[in-house]
């Protein structure tokens, strides 16, 4: 049995690149539309909430609300773009398009495919997160160097949420089930994790709970970097995110084995 | 058989899903350079066997060796030298023909230069040389199948595993695939083919294994199976009451099978049968040489579903 699970893990350190390149080629054909779609939603939120609510809210944690929100928006867009890439695009490749099936005829393993999909989804997060960062920098709410410094965390956030979404698509019989994940897990996380308002506004029990959620760790890394403040507990946050990226990877690969290799 | 001349070896392979037995105590061997057919109706276990050979399903019991590698434990290594044509196309529809080969070649660790070096001959082989830059979604069904075949050859495999390669194609497209497969056999490739087309099996396969309900019910060369199990002409009769007709011609037939409204009469001297049917209105009588369809009917007592 153990042998069976070993066989689905990544075969080597580079097989996944072929999967990433396949997705990149597909994306290149629709790059412009994809970029606009990726950007429109978070930028609308940034301006709508930032300017609108910002007028009422005034300053938050010693900075303007829109600067505070911009950092949260970078984290949220990293989360949503990796999530949606995995839930919809990767699910289609695994299910209806039979792309994964074709890849499994070659020398790649299921783990190679999942890893390639995760890195691809994280790449899209970097694209989306960086785009928001660039808008924030152009408006003077963040420095250009701080955007560059935030990229590794944005990438890690992408890996985390792609990895979690992998578990969802490994279990979901059809697209219809994704809505549960979106509305019961992701949307509450946006409000619990300090992305749009400071976490200390929440009752203390919620604050403790939020500390367990991946988006909170991601926000706690990205915001101080973008506001050029010292990052507290960096090792804890990075460690928690790594755990959230790695564990679901193994869980989803084992679940995919049960779903596809039978 | 010497192991280096054996491409595929299955020994007492069993597979069940839940309490449903899909493959039961199956053993067969395929020599290198041979075209071996798994022939049987839908649900006979053909696709499951093909997936087991690729290491995508582990057998519950038994031993599988493909290209000298134990499967599934070293299936990944074996797959480097296997090309697969699946039952349902899984091409990249939004990519061009050329891009499909590029992307698939990369999965085998090939560089862009290596892929570009082999792509023209593969496209020519698949008669797609004028379609290199056409999106796959714009190709006909037959062209898609030929591209799937070209894609399966990108790693220059020793063995091709083809699951129902011509199902769903029109006769013209089917004949073109058959002709291409014969070219591959002439080049020394080994082919394992699953099919429910008797004609496909008869035309292409050196040897075949007839399956029903996951069990092997016959194995051998197509002509030998036909000789052994039938060995005489067949008269198909329909348009009358089959049971009444059976009584009428029974003395002149070696064996008679009734399937639906058709009577299959196996007779060493068909003219004797025909004499007794002469003058009956509405009766359609067709005399033909025996084929694998008759073998299947003989062995299972029923016609193969189409």
pLDDT of residue B3: 58
CA dihedral B202, B203, B205, B211 (to 10 degrees): -30
Tens digits of residue pLDDT in B165-199: 998 889 999 999 999 999 999 999 999 999 988 88
Shortest CA distance to A193 belongs to which of A161, A150, A165? A161
Domain boundaries, chain A: 2-260
pLDDT of residue B303: 60
Got the DSSP string for A158-219? Answer: HHHHHHHHHHHHHH-SSGGGHHHHIIIIIHHHHHHTTSSS-GGGS-HHHHHHHTTSHHHHHH
Q: How far is CA B165 from CA B64, B173, B191, in A?
A: 23, 11, 11
Tens digits of residue pLDDT in A164-202: 999 999 999 999 999 999 999 999 999 999 999 999 999
B57 in reach of chain A (CB within 8 A): yes
What whole-number distance in Å separates Cα of residue A112 and Cα of residue A12?
8
Say which residue, B93 or B257, is predicted with more confidence.
B93
E-state strands within A16-170: 59-60, 63-64
pLDDT averaged over every residue in chain B: 91
3-class DSSP state of A227: coil
Tens digits of residue pLDDT in B31-75: 999 999 999 888 889 999 999 999 999 999 999 999 999 999 999
Best A2, A3, A104 residue to mutate vs chain B (most B CBs within 10 Å):
A104
Distance in Å, alpha carbon of A29 to nearest chain B alpha carbon: 9
Shortest CA distance to A93 belongs to which of A157, A23, A172, A9? A23
Q: Which residue has the tokens 């008669």?
A: B127
pLDDT of residue B302: 66
What are the residues whose beta carbons fall under 8 Å from the beta carbon of A99, sequence distance 6 or more? Answer: A22, A93, B90, B92
B53 in reach of chain A (CB within 8 A): no
pLDDT of residue B167: 87
B104 in reach of chain A (CB within 8 A): yes
Element (H, E) at B14: strand B6-17
Residues of B in contact with A10 (CB under 8 A): none
Sign of CA dihedral B36, B42, B45, B47: positive
Asked if B234 contacts B264 with a C-beta cutoff of 8 angstroms, the reply is yes
pLDDT of residue B306: 43
Asked if B267 contacts B246 with a C-beta cutoff of 8 angstroms, the reply is no
pLDDT of residue A142: 92
B82 in reach of chain A (CB within 8 A): yes
Q: Which residues of A touch B (CB under 8 A)?
A: 3-4, 7, 11, 15, 18-19, 21-22, 25-26, 29, 97-99, 101-109, 260-262
What is the model's pTM?
0.92
A109–B90 C-beta distance less than 8 A = no
Angle (CA) A156-A51-A151 rounded to 5° is: 15
Angle (CA) A193-A194-A198 rounded to 5° is: 145
Residues of A in contact with B108 (CB under 8 A): 106-107
Spans of chain A below 70 pLDDT: 1-3
Tens digits of residue pLDDT in B117-162: 999 999 999 999 999 999 999 999 999 999 999 999 999 999 999 9
* pLDDT surpasses 90 at B279: no
pLDDT of residue A258: 92
pLDDT of residue B47: 92
Residues of A in contact with B109 (CB under 8 A): 15, 18, 107
Domains in chain B with CATH codes: 3-226 (3.40.50.300), 232-289 (3.30.70.1510)
E-state strands within B178-281: 190-195, 207-212, 215-220, 233-238, 255-259, 262-267
Tens digits of residue pLDDT in A106-133: 999 999 999 999 999 999 999 999 999 9
CA–centroid distance for A153 within its chain: 10
* pLDDT surpasses 80 at B2: no
B55–A7 C-beta distance less than 8 A = yes
ipTM score for this prediction: 0.92
Q: How far apart are the first and last CA of chain A?
A: 14
Say which residue, B227 or A7, is predicted with more confidence.
B227
Distance in Å, alpha carbon of A32 to nearest chain B alpha carbon: 16
Of A4, A102, A106, Cβ closest to residue B58: A4
Task: Report the percent of chain B where pLDDT is more than 90.
Answer: 69
Q: What is the DSSP letter of B151?
A: H
* Mean pLDDT, rounded, for B12-38: 95
What whole-number distance in Å separates Cα of residue B101 and Cα of residue B123?
9
Asked if B149 contacts B126 with a C-beta cutoff of 8 angstroms, the reply is yes
What whole-number distance in Å separates Cα of residue A217 and Cα of residue A236?
8
């Amino acid at each position: 049995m153990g042998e069976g699970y070993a066989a689905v893990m990544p075969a080597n350190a580079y097989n996944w690149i072929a999967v990433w390149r396949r997705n990149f080629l597909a994306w290149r054909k629709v790059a412009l539309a994809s970029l606009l779609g990726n950007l429109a939603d978070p930028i609308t939120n940034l301006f709508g909430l930032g300017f609108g609510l910002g007028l009422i809210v005034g300053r938050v944690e010693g900075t303007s609300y829109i600067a505070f929100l911009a950092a949260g928006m970078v984290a949220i867009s990293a989360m949503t773009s990796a999530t949606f890439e995995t839930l919809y695009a990767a699910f289609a490749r695994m299910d209806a398009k039979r792309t994964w099936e074709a890849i499994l005829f070659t020398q790649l393993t299921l783990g190679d495919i999942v890893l390639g999909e995760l890195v691809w989804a994280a790449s899209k997060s970097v694209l989306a997160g960086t785009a928001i960062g660039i808008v924030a920098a152009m408006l003077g709410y963040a420095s250009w160097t701080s955007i560059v410094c935030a990229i590794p965390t944005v990438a890690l956030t992408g890996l985390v949420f792609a990895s979690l979404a992998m578990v969802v698509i490994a279990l979901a019989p059809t697209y219809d089930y994704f809505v549960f994940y979106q509305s019961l897990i992701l949307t509450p996380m946006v409000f619990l994790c300090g992305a749009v308002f400071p976490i200390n506004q929440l009752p203390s029990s919620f604050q403790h709970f939020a500390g367990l959620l991946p988006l909170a760790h991601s926000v706690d890394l990205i915001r101080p970097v973008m506001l050029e403040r010292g990052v507290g507990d960096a090792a804890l946050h990075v460690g928690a995110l790594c755990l959230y990226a790695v564990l679901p990877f193994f869980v989803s690969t084992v679940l995919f084995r049960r779903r596809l290799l039978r | 058989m010497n192991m280096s001349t054996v491409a595929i070896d299955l020994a007492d392979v069993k597979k069940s899903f839940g309490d449903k037995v899909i493959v039961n105590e199956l053993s067969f061997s395929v020599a290198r350079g041979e075209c071996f057919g798994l022939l049987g109706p839908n649900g006979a276990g053909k696709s499951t066997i093909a997936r087991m050979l690729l290491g995508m399903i582990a057998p519950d019991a038994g031993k599988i060796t493909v290209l000298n590698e134990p499967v599934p434990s070293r299936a990944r290594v074996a797959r480097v030298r296997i090309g697969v044509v699946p039952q349902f196309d899984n091409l990249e529809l939004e990519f061009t023909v050329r891009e499909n080969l590029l992307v698939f070649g990369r999965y085998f660790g090939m560089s862009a230069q290596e892929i570009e070096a082999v792509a023209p001959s593969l496209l020519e082989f698949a008669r797609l040389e004028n379609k290199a830059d056409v999106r796959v979604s714009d190709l006909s069904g037959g062209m898609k199948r030929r591209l799937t075949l070209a894609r399966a050859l990108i790693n220059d495999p020793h063995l091709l595993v083809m699951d129902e390669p011509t199902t769903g194609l029109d006769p013209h497209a089917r004949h073109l695939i058959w002709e291409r497969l014969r070219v591959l056999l002439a080049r020394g490739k080994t082919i394992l083919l699953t099919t429910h087309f008797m004609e496909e099996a008869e035309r292409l396969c050196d040897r075949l294994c007839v399956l029903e309900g996951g069990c092997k019910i016959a194995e051998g060369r197509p002509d030998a199976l036909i000789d052994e199990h039938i060995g005489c002409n067949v008269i198909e009769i329909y348009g009358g009451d089959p049971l009444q007709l059976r009584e009428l011609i029974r003395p002149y037939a070696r064996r008679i099978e009734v399937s639906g409204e058709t009577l299959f009469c196996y007779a060493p001297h068909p003219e004797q049968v025909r004499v007794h049917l002469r003058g009956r209105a509405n009766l359609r009588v067709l005399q033909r040489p025996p084929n694998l369809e008759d073998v299947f009917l003989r062995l299972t007592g029923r016609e193969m579903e189409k």
